[in-house]
Amino acid sequence: MRPRTSEALFCPLLVSRPQTPSSARRLTHIDALRGLLLVLMAINHIQSDLRIVTDHALGFVSAAEGFVFLAGLMGGYVYARLWRKTNFQEMTRRCTQRAIAIYRWHVLAFVAVFAAFILFGFHQGVLPPNAPTAFVNHPQLSFLAGFLLLNQPALFDILPMYCVFLLAAPWCLRACQKGHYTSLVGASFASWLLVNLFVPQSSFEYGPIHAGAFNLAAWQVLFVTGLCFGHFWAGRGASPSSVSSSHVLRTPSRVVLVSLIGIAAVLFCVRRGFLDVGLPTALLDVLTNKNNLAPLRLFNAAVLFYLIYLLLSRFPSVLSWRPLVWLGQCSLAVFTTHILATYVIQAFPATFAETTPGRWLGTAFVIATLFAGAAFQTFFSKSTHPKNSLRPAPAHPPLRTRQSVQRRTNVRHEQPAFGTPDPVHHRS
């Protein structure tokens, strides 16, 4: 009997039949989904009347869970393909370059917000109401800790997390390349479990040090799982741009599908207060804690991710709205500009939060900044990187000119016999 490898153990749901490589296209479904998550995050970070719909819209899952999982999924897919085309060192270098680029955007936004608070304080004589506590009590140390990623106030905790995950991605992909899916995911879940058993569910904050609202040792389980699926996806030769024709997971039976939909519906009703399951509020808060990615929250995220995958497999054109695709393609600049807009809106609550017209004005302003960030990154990319090496070659064949056909001269190199001083060259 053939022994089962760790890849076979990890992927019992993965399709075993080989996938035919499809044409390389922009991953519009993933881009649109990422763009939708960015819009939801931007609205949820301000006082908007739309939050009744966008805040935890489908249960105990926020847009951050989807954003981190998609980052791992596309990281595994893109960098696994890059490794195949080049080598491990080049793939590591590209991951490091991406992490450095994200760090620069993070520092740029951090410095801009810190400088805006200082200027506001000099002009008004008092800092705005949304100024972080560390900025007020330890301004110099907070500024320095921000560069070291030790001070992560509100909204400044996702990009540093992504930087750390990207730096670890090459070594995780190396484990995937060796077929150690089970070991990698098992270690990831073990780390998540230890955090939820022994680490407090509140963010660590001491003086100028603020660890952010996401425990990296717990949230890495979303990124690592997505990375494994992305690596396997790339290895099967499938392209997420044609979701309907390149299944990575098996289609469940009707009983399983109905059960999953029922579970998602129950969790949605519990989150919205439509259904009382008899659990104390304190216990429900512990089971759905966001900082440590508590068990019920992680389970809810897994169910929703699978159902969304099945939806896109069945109806691939659901997410094809070009504005969302554009936002997803420029996600780094879009997310950074939304941080700046959010701090501006929260600094003036009388204008943007205390009245209904003001809340709608803030909503329109933050959405406008998303597209402004996308326009900035598009212009910047065209001016600095006119050609993208990861983009596929054009579909049309290269132009050929008429040239005279010349007869090739093949040279055969034969091994000389023992004792022969020079090799023998035969021309044909």
Answer yes or no: is 394 within a domain: no
Q: How confident is the model at residue 386 (pLDDT cuts 50, 70, 90)?
A: low
At residue 26, the pLDDT reads 54
Q: Which of 39-48, 281-290, 359-368, 386-395 has the lowest mean pLDDT?
A: 386-395
Residue 11: per-residue pLDDT: 40
d(CA 213, CA 65): 13
Which of 388 and 93 is assigned the larger pLDDT?
93
312 versus 228: which is more confidently predicted? Answer: 228
pLDDT band for 313, please (50, 70, 90 cuts).
confident
pLDDT value for 27: 72
| pLDDT (tens digit per residue) in 157-169 | 999 999 999 999 9
Note whether residue 422 is domain-resident.
no
Tokens standing for residue 75: 């990281």
Judged against a pLDDT cut of 70, whether residue 291 lies above it is answered with: yes
Range from 25-39, 199-213, 328-342 carrying the lowest mean pLDDT: 25-39
Phi/psi-derived region of residue 208, left when phi > 0, alpha when psi is between -120 and 50, beta in every other case: alpha
Name the pLDDT band for 278 (thresholds 50, 70, 90).
confident
- Least confident range from 2-16, 135-149, 255-269, 377-391: namely 2-16
Three-state SS letters, 146-193: HHCCCECCCCCCHHHHHHHHHHHHHHHHHHHHCCCHHHHHHHHHHHHH
62-73: average pLDDT: 94
pLDDT at residue 248 in the model:
55
Domain that holds residue 157: 7-379
The percentage of residues in the chain with a pLDDT greater than 90, rounded to a whole number, is: 63
Contact call for residues 191 and 220 (beta carbons, < 8 A): yes
Residue 35 lies in a domain: yes
Q: How far apart are CA 240 and CA 74, in angstroms?
A: 9
Choose among 234, 363, 378, 226: nearest CA to 308. 226
386 domain-assigned: no
Residue 21 has pLDDT above 90, yes or no: no
| CA distance linking residue 284 with residue 394, whole number of Å | 53
Question: What pLDDT is recorded for position 282?
Answer: 92
Q: How many domains does the chain divide into?
A: 1
In a domain, 409, yes or no: no
Report the chain's mean pLDDT, rounded to a whole number: 83
Whether residue 316 is contained in a domain is answered as yes
Cα separation of 369 and 157, whole Å? 20
List pLDDT tens digits, range 211-244: 989 999 999 999 999 999 999 988 875 444 444 3
Q: Report pLDDT for 133.
A: 86
In a domain, 428, yes or no: no
More confident residue, 21 or 104: 104
Residue 1 predicted with pLDDT over 50: no
* Residue 393, domain member (yes or no): no
Q: What is the pLDDT of residue 23?
A: 34
Ranked by mean pLDDT, the top range of 15-29, 187-201, 370-384 is: 187-201
pLDDT at 149: 93
> Is the CB of residue 225 less than 8 Å from the CB of residue 69?
yes
| Cα 367 from Cα 360, distance rounded (Å) | 11
DSSP-derived pairing of the beta strands 411-413 and 425-427: antiparallel
The per-residue pLDDT for 392 is 43
Q: What is the mean pLDDT of residues 140-153?
A: 93
Lowest mean pLDDT among 31-35, 64-68, 396-400: 396-400
Q: What pLDDT is recorded for position 137?
A: 87
Examine the pLDDT at 323 and tell me if it is beyond 50: yes
Is residue 318 very low, low, confident or very high in pLDDT (cuts 50, 70, 90)?
confident
